[in-house]
Chain A
Amino acid sequence: MEENSKNAPMFMQGNEALAEAALRAGMQAYFGYPITPQSEVMEYLSAQAKKHNAVVLQAESELAAINMVYGAAGAGARVMTSSSSPGISLMQEGISYMASAEIPCLIVNVQRGGPGLGTIQPSQADYFQATKGGGHGDYRLLVLAPSSVQEMADLVFDGFKLADKYRNPVMILADGALGQMMEKVTMPPAGSLPYTEKPWATVGKPTTRERNILTSLHIVPEKMEEINLRLQDKYRRMRQEVRSEQIGVDEAEILLVAFGLSARICQKAIELAKEKGINVGLLRPITLFPFPTEAIAKIVPNVEAVLTVEMNAGQMVEDVRLAVNGKKPVYFKGRMGGMIPTPDDIVLEIETIAEKNRITQV
């Protein structure tokens, strides 16, 4: 993609927009392994790597890839990897090590339906894995959920920035549809994300400092607990990064909560419901961890019911229930295994909920 100085909108595929954004965000190294529906990321980067002086290496597995990320990011570089659900599962050990050793990086999961080898169709079934830890031990990733090709690009910048700010891996949780679809996107300008000092990086020990060690091993339990307490404190501080988008919540009688592609579909459902005389609003979490608990809690008194829509068996709905805290009924509509709920599916659900809760149709 030619440098777009005028920042005119371009028509791009989600995966390619993400890759282009990574280069513009100053990504210095990428390690990955092909898997549908995100292989275009590495293909795009491979073609552009030389021009941007970036390392792009196809590893022998996701296991190797994530550990290359560990090494390169530990040496101070701005590093990204991307994969889809089965590959992300394979990376979990390495992600846990990076969370513990506090090595910042950006991990992109363009989700597909599972479990197992599953399907190559879009899914949101890795919500638990992304937001609750994923690998072993008590750790969290900052998780960002794009819902447009524009956000596939924008959130890359946010992702790298947050990773460096918290010295923590950040995950972009997209899905196969967002990765594959083409939309208009305005690319953030190249060079707009400055590099941060990384005095902890292993680059060779000068005489002016002690040696730098990146490790996740703390054999003395008192020390390991101390590290855990520090990490938990960091995860609490991350709460200030919470972000969500709200659409039409002020007049809403029913609140929809949905992220990513599901949120896009909900927007259409909201229009259709309005035609039927039901006022529905949408809260779309942009950060899945930290989760917009307070934002949801604030809206709850003004609505009669909450409906969570996801492309899974009901994962984020658990966090929604915690936010609603029993104050209003919480419903769930989902499709699984690569199936996408249609706006009509959602409207039908909305109508049922309206009836159950005796919401007067205007």
Chain B
Amino acid sequence: MKVGIVSYGAYIPRYRITPEEIGKVWGVDGKSMSKGLMINCKSVPSPDEDTITISVEAARNMMRRCGVSPKEIGALYVGSESHPYAVKPTGTIVAEAIEAAPHLTVADYEFACKAGTAAIQTCMGLVGSGMVKYGVAIGADTSQGAPGDALEFSASAGGAAFLIGSEKIIATIDNTYSFTTDTPDFWRREGQMYPRHGGRFTGEPAYFKHVLAGAKGLMERMKSTSKDYTYAVFHQPNGKFPSRVAKQLGFADAQIKSGLLAPMIGNTYSGAVPLGLAAILDEAKAGDRILAVAYGSGAGSDAFDITVTQEIESYARGKAPTVKELNTNLKFLDYATYAKFRGKILLGGE
């Protein structure tokens, strides 16, 4: 049975802050930080937004584009490292808000930045085995870096949702491959507000090793090369890492341009590859082939080989905003407003 993407939807909050504005406060050269990270600005959630509201908006955009009844959804998984509750699933509220409840199975996933793609893999299995007709996989985050930490320049907010099924597929998922090791490059202990990371350790032995192994492992299994893909999207903690990894794998700038959103929105964590993939699907044509590789600290990568089908021609893409359209109506914040929005100012009375 062919399994793939039946519909998709994205969401990005409207607020932005620049590395220059953050750097000004911490005595850091924001301009060179921006250049080094290849991040011009990052998205910031409004005080009334969180992973649940972002997931709901992405999932509703996904449902707007297809004729599938929410009652036919048999599974829903939300991958995030910023679930609003430590105990009480994000997915239950999302399922209720898209009217898929109560006859479905729901769970929240957590694997740093690749929890959303792990959800796609689970849905592929459930649909492929015939256990459910449709499964929803969401990757969304409202991630935080400690004030003044390097992560504060990139950690942002956004998410995308995918309806996985076997009928009227706009893109088939031809294969998926994962590469997983025990690597302590980035972590957050239970009850801690901000994560910690291994500094330089996060690059070579973590991101690059796993993304390269994931991509190569998949391409070996598919007997493909970088030339076989129209598009590629890699996890993007900044703009620099995915550009470098693409070069190392033999991909040209033109192949990664459409899915490279970090320069405009920062690192959306679990939302990163899902949003990049959504941006590609916004413009893809029948026959286009996509390589997508997500990375999660801790560490692992999920790679996907995806082919866009004829079905995309009649698919109602225009019924929900594209990623480009979501990147309009922007409002830039100063650091003080940003700190207030993100709960970085301790308010009295509690």
Q: Is A bound to B?
A: no
